[in-house]
Amino acid sequence: MNFFDSHAHYDDVAFEEDRVELLESLREKNINYVVNVGADLESTKRTVDLCNQYSFIYGAAGIHPEAADHLTNKDFAWIREQLNHSKIVAVGETGLDYYWKEVEPHIQKEAFDKQLQFTLETNLPVIVHSRDAAKDTLDMIRSANNNHRMKGIIHCFSYTKETAREYLDMGFLFGIGGVITFSNAQKLKEAVQYIPIESIVLETDSPYLSPIPFRGKRNSSLNLPIIGKAIAEVKGLDYEEAMSILYQNTLKIYGIQEKGIDENK
């Protein structure tokens, strides 16, 4: 059984002491691929470095809404340039976050719109972060996606099945992580029941959002089987069959052609 972590942050300081050891252990646990996701200029630089260092790590280049303040046109041009790297397979993490309110909504929107344009220019998928901003996020994607050419993943999906329907109609996928195991995640479980398995990808958001029974501890891709089992249970599907579909979904959305796992170890 093979796993693909569609969203992780292994450049984070939480992995400073054992990053190499942990990453080198993943393939032994059938974690065949990881997409490390940039959240600002520095983390995107570190993501590119990880892509260059590890054959099984791919990356996304982008600006998280909480990092959208004080950016220049030169900064965005640099992000756009990174999208030409052969192992950068997505734009993001970008989007809107009205929970913390540290960056004014209009600034977040400007940064989000720029990166939505990047995904159209490059034909790469966009990784969308949306928290307490359901309507504005949906409205902006609809506006940018007037020719229905955009593809992407709604990261850490946390809205209702009605909102899920809107994204399904546009062909977006949904990143489902450790929250699916939480006892208070009934709304998410109802959405996952509704979303077709072909529209879901596994993610950890490492080092954040560890599943039960590791909630509150550092997350890693090693927890993907726990998340996968929870998804299969909610969907009422055979575990191995569900994991195979999720794996293929992720390869497809990121445009990765699998050439054989052993040669990449």
Enumerate residues 6+ apart whose C-beta is below 8 A from 231.
176, 180, 192, 197, 200, 202, 242, 246
Enter the tokens of residue 247: 């794996």
Q: Mean pLDDT throughout 150-161?
A: 95
pLDDT band at 101 (very low <50, low <70, confident <90, very high): confident
Which domains occur in the chain, in start order?
A: 3-264 (3.20.20.140)
Residue 179 has pLDDT above 60, yes or no: yes
Q: Mean pLDDT throughout 174-185?
A: 97
Cα 66 versus chain centre, distance: 16
Enumerate residues 6+ apart whose C-beta is below 8 A from 249.
173, 198, 199, 200, 201
Question: What number of residues does the chain have?
Answer: 265
pTM > 0.75: yes or no: yes
Calpha distance 14→8 (Å, rounded): 12
The string of pLDDT tens digits covering residues 71-93 is 999 999 999 999 999 999 999 99
Residue 34 has pLDDT above 60, yes or no: yes
Calpha distance 249→172 (Å, rounded): 11
Calpha distance 254→124 (Å, rounded): 8
User: 């040669």: which residue's tokens?
Assistant: 263
Residue 22 has pLDDT above 60, yes or no: yes
Calpha distance 59→82 (Å, rounded): 10
Calpha distance 47→127 (Å, rounded): 15
The whole-number pLDDT of residue 261 equals: 44
The whole-number pLDDT of residue 147 equals: 76
In 3-state terms the chain splits into helix, strand, coil percentages (rounded to 5) of 50, 15, 35
E strand map for the chain: 3-8, 31-37, 57-61, 88-97, 126-131, 152-154, 173-176, 200-202
E strand map for 87-219: 88-97, 126-131, 152-154, 173-176, 200-202
